[in-house]
């Protein structure tokens, strides 16, 4: 089974998310908003399909990365998240929550051996096509 298909996003904690967004916008040219920025691209094995990678700052006090105590979280794009979660459980990987489903895809969080939180995302290709086209 193909597991990770790409990088879905990079998220990190900071003292002042707005100031960080402004710094990245001014110094590195990132167009940032409330949810950071999105890098859009085409899928290599099917260039007719679009994809995206998110970059976003979070306040230091966020609980979103829990139970990890690390100041960052990486989101990986995956195929067939349900089968992958079953495989991870059989391998005794800590699965933090249940699969959650939204218009833009399915998500679940796991921990690596050093306690880093990892967000797995099975994108909804139809949503990505419509979002990127807007």
Residue-wise pLDDT tens for the chain (134 aa)?
A: 668 988 999 999 999 999 999 999 999 999 998 889 999 998 888 888 888 899 999 999 999 999 999 999 999 999 999 999 999 999 999 999 999 999 999 999 999 999 999 999 999 877 655 554 44
Domain boundaries, the chain: 4-133
Q: How far apart are CA 95 and CA 104, in angstroms?
A: 21
What is the structure's pLDDT at 127?
64
pLDDT at 48: 86
pLDDT at 34: 84
4-133 maps to which CATH number?
Answer: 3.10.180.10
């Amino acid at each position: 089974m193909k597991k990770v298909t790409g990088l879905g996003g990079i998220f990190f904690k900071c003292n002042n998310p707005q100031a960080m967004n402004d710094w990245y916008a001014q110094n590195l040219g990132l167009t940032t908003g409330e949810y950071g920025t999105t890098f859009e691209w085409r899928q290599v094995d099917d260039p007719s399909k679009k994809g995206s990678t998110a970059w976003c700052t979070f306040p230091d006090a966020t609980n979103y990365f829990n139970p990890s105590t690390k100041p960052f979280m990486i989101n990986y794009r995956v195929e067939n998240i349900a089968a992958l979660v079953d495989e991870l459980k059989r391998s005794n990987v800590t699965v933090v929550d249940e699969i959650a489903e939204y218009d833009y895809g399915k998500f679940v969080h796991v921990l690596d051996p050093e306690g880093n939180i990892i967000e797995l995302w099975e994108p909804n290709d139809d949503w990505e096509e419509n979002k990127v086209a807007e």
